[in-house]
Amino acid sequence: MIKIASTIKDVAKYTGLSIATISKYINGGNVLDKNKQIIDEAIKALDFKVNEIARGLKTNKTMTIGVLIPDFKNIFFTTVVSNIENVLIQNGYSTIICDYKNDNVLEKEKFNFLVNKQVDGIIIIPQGDDVRHIKEHINKNMPLVLVDRALEGVECDTILVDNMNASYNAVEHLITRGHKSIGIICGPDNIFTAVERLKGYMRVHKDYSMKIDESLVKKGDNDVESGYTRLNELLDLQVPPTAVFVTNYEMTLGAIMALNERNIKIPDELSIVGFDNLHMARIVKPSLSIVVQPMEQIGEIAANTILRRLRGDMSNYPSMVRLKTELMINQSVKDLRG
Amino acid sequence: MIKIASTIKDVAKYTGLSIATISKYINGGNVLDKNKQIIDEAIKALDFKVNEIARGLKTNKTMTIGVLIPDFKNIFFTTVVSNIENVLIQNGYSTIICDYKNDNVLEKEKFNFLVNKQVDGIIIIPQGDDVRHIKEHINKNMPLVLVDRALEGVECDTILVDNMNASYNAVEHLITRGHKSIGIICGPDNIFTAVERLKGYMRVHKDYSMKIDESLVKKGDNDVESGYTRLNELLDLQVPPTAVFVTNYEMTLGAIMALNERNIKIPDELSIVGFDNLHMARIVKPSLSIVVQPMEQIGEIAANTILRRLRGDMSNYPSMVRLKTELMINQSVKDLRG
DNA sequence: CTACAATCGTGAAACGTTTCGCTCTACTTT
DNA sequence: AAAGTAGAGCGAAACGTTTCACGATTGTAG
């Protein structure tokens, strides 16, 4: 094994100053200019870097944030996380990322794993079933930020998109193009975003005095398979809808697969609006109209929120940020008017 | 602030035994059965957990692996990482993940960031330009595993797919369906996988005594935009190819977008074989023939390799694993024979 | 019964920082 | 000249573990 890294003791020996003086300088304390110079010289000559393990033992900080997400293969989650990691590393924090694979038991286990790793804070895209481990944690002195899903009874910083109005606007787009029979493929009732998106669908129907046909409301599991299955169920109805709104990316993928297999032409035979993402919208022909979420912004705001809390800035706690989505109108909606 | 977590001192006080005895028991040493029982009782009653910061200061281990990847939005990379994280967490390791955004300077910075965080090992999907920071690191007592790309002059454990034969098989499929004019959209020369995949294209041409038309060889940047641009360039040729092989996922996305915009029918007007992924293959109509990489396996082998090295098992070092890909034949290749 | 060996508990040093309070020096004011 | 004040360096304790070497106890063999 080659040379072990230098420690503050080596810097002290090199400079003739004490460990306390070196530490004071490193941490921004007052030292004489001539001592500053010689300490800098020593640090450079010895290639000294503070041992963050030792520092952590004393300060009880690990300069690490834990991020817990439901699915590493979901480009929405990974885009959010990419932006979180980017902001955090610029502030000297590392990011431990855990994938709980949409499994509530695994979520709790990995949450506890992060706590035991003594991360300084946790950013979580929660599942939403049993949230006791999160609730219990609120009373501890460690910042927690929820992303994408709010949790009932969990009062802490939360970064969301405005799912209800995202849905409202998407379905309104269909309504204003003359569609009266609009199906929805939404997620399960335990997922916050699924519930909110369905509410938007309901609300816009009510606002336009349109009756909701419960047989057009299909609940999936936010995965490709259920998107596929539910789309087929909608099309197998005696009177299928003329349009479908699919409320997440994976189910949108599945719905498109089902349409491809049935050789159904978009938008001639069925109009469709999906959720995410920009690339997929353009490789489906004709290009899909989709709700676009501000993933970069979600990640940045989540990271900056937790950094503020870590700095001791508790103003406006607990905050809830609801970001606007954008409806990207392409060619997958047929105009039934005229 | 509520109660601070218990320390080994509290357990010692509760049991009447010494800190050394508690530590010995925790770490698998011999203690009397009656003492084992009372220590277990104390641990449970006090909800004691070893402080890994303190342990790390003494043992110089952080139980953390750094993972450095080029792009968080790339589903190939994130799927690999998901599997890495899964294996590592089952072995008590946390995973710090950094995204260097295909930027060599950022790669070096984040690599050094991970080193300074004193991770126990690093798994990297390297970019391939300037690899000095990686080379310098090989001589240090910290395991390093390369994934997806080998690096010249860097001798360490490497987990790859057999890119050359993946490409060979894909193009052979086109050749054996009667295609004589086959274009390729491959990545840039500094990316290992791009070079290997182009080699496979060349080799199969040679093996079938087919002349390579250099104008059909287009080099992109492994992103959506260049896939789009290069596909258009191929189709703008005076005599366009009858088939195209695209050697990564993003460029495959871009190529499809270009085909959609030109209203070119697959496979009637152009046959196409892409790289990844399973979902995208089925949402393009007709479904794409694609090369499928064993992402789960790559991740698991990478994680298990680094764990072996961390346990001190240096057998077969440096190892190189080349995994087979699979050619998934769907409906995007026209049979020109007969 | 004695001698030897094995087992197990323990004290305390060490890991590399931070930080508090003390001390010394220099400067200023009376 | 003396007293008071401010600045800066420093010693050493502490953070929470690990681990080594030592001593005491227990068990076994002759």
Find tokens 């100053």 and name the residue.
A17
Is B283 in Cβ contact with A257 (below 8 Å)? yes
- Name the pairing type of β-strands B64-69 and B94-99: parallel
User: Where does residue B232 rank: exposed (0-12), middle (13-18), buried (19+ CB within 10 A)?
Assistant: middle
What pLDDT shows up at residue B141? 81
- Identity of residue A77: F
pLDDT digit string, tens, across residues A211-257? 999 999 999 999 999 999 999 999 999 999 999 999 999 999 999 99
- Between A and B, how many CB-CB pairs are < 8 A? 136
Q: Which of B43, B53, B118, B261 to mutate to test the interface with A (most CBs of A within 10 A)?
A: B53
What pLDDT shows up at residue A111? 96
What pLDDT shows up at residue B153? 87
In this predicted structure, the answer to whether residue A2 has a pLDDT above a threshold of 90 is no
- Name the pairing type of β-strands B289-292 and B326-328: antiparallel
Region A272-300 average pLDDT: 94
Is A280 in Cβ contact with B283 (below 8 Å)? yes
Whether CB of B9 is under 7 Å from strand D: the answer is yes
What pLDDT shows up at residue A195? 96
Q: Please report the ipTM that was assigned to this predicted complex.
A: 0.91
Which residues are paired to A95 by β-bridges? A65
Which residues of chain A lie closer than 8 angstroms to B330, CB-CB? none
- Specify which residue's alpha carbon is closest to the C1' of nucleotide C15: B58
Return contacts of A44-47, CB within 8 angstroms, 24+ apart.
A45/A14, A46/A6, A46/A10, A46/A11, A46/A14, A47/A5, A47/A6
**SS3 call for A290:** strand
Contacts of A287 (CB under 8 A, 6+ apart): A281, A330, A331, A332, B260
> Nearest 5°: phi and psi at B97?
-115, 135
Which residues of chain B lie closer than 8 angstroms to A53, CB-CB? 53, 56-57, 60, 62, 118
Is B57 in Cβ contact with A53 (below 8 Å)? yes
Q: Are the folds of A62-161+295-323 and A163-293 the same?
A: yes
In this predicted structure, the answer to whether residue A23 has a pLDDT above a threshold of 80 is yes
Contacts of B309 (CB under 8 A, 6+ apart): B121, B143, B145, B157, B317
pLDDT digit string, tens, across residues A107-160? 999 999 999 999 999 999 999 889 999 998 887 789 999 999 999 889 999 999
Region A2-21 average pLDDT: 88
What pLDDT shows up at residue B2? 39
Neighbours of B30 (CB within 10 A): 8
> For residue B202, how many C-alpha atoms fall within 13 Å in the half-sphere facing its CB?
10
Closest alpha carbon to B199 in B226, B173, B162, B224: B162
Which residues of chain A lie closer than 8 angstroms to B138, CB-CB? none
Provide the residue ranges of all domains of chain A, joining segments of one domain with +. 8-50, 62-161+295-323, 163-293
User: Where does residue A178 rank: exposed (0-12), middle (13-18), buried (19+ CB within 10 A)?
Assistant: middle
Region A265-293 average pLDDT: 93
Q: Would you identify the CATH topology of the domain B163-293?
A: Rossmann fold (3.40.50)
Contact status, residue B322 vs residue B160, Cβ threshold 8 Å? yes
For chain B residues 23-52, those near strand D by a CB cutoff of 7 A are 23-24, 26-27, 48-51
3.50.50.60, 3.40.50.2300, 3.30.70.360, 3.40.33.10: which CATH number matches B61-160+295-321? 3.40.50.2300
Find tokens 């999160």 and name the residue.
A134
Q: Which of A94, A118, A256 to mutate to test the interface with B (most CBs of B within 10 A)?
A: A94
Task: Give all strands (DSSP E) within chain A, no chain letters.
Answer: 64-69, 94-99, 121-124, 144-147, 157-161, 182-186, 217-219, 243-246, 271-275, 289-292, 320-323, 326-328
Q: Which of B86, B96, B280 sits opposite A283 (nearest CB)?
A: B280
CA distance B197 to B199: 5
Contacts of B215 (CB under 8 A, 6+ apart): B237
For A50, nearest residue in chain B (alpha carbons): B116
Nucleotide whose C1' lies closest to the alpha carbon of residue B56: D17
What pLDDT shows up at residue B162? 97
CA distance to partner chain A, nearest, from residue B139 (Å): 8
Which CATH class for the A62-161+295-323 domain? alpha beta
Contact status, residue A127 vs residue A288, Cβ threshold 8 Å? no
pLDDT band, residue A1 (cuts 50/70/90): very low
Which residues of chain B lie closer than 8 angstroms to A97, CB-CB? 81, 85, 95-97
Measure A272 CA to D14 C1' (Å). Answer: 65
Mean pLDDT of chain A: 94
Measure A322 CA to D16 C1' (Å). Answer: 42
Strand C interface, protein residues by Cβ within 7 Å = A 4, 7-9, 19-20, 23-24, 26-27, 48-51, 53-55, 57-59; B 16-21, 24, 30-32, 35, 54, 57-58
Is A49 in Cβ contact with B53 (below 8 Å)? no
**10-residue block means of pLDDT along chain B (338 residues)?**
74 94 93 93 94 94 96 92 96 96 95 94 94 86 94 93 97 97 96 96 97 96 95 96 96 95 95 92 92 96 97 93 97 93
For strand C, which nucleotides have at least one atom less than 7 Å from a protein CB?
Answer: 7-21
Contact status, residue A306 vs residue A143, Cβ threshold 8 Å? yes
pLDDT digit string, tens, across residues A175-223? 999 999 999 999 999 999 999 999 999 999 999 999 999 999 999 999 9
Q: Which of A57, A73, A96 sits opposite B78 (nearest CB)?
A: A73
Closest alpha carbon to B288 in B244, B228, B226: B244
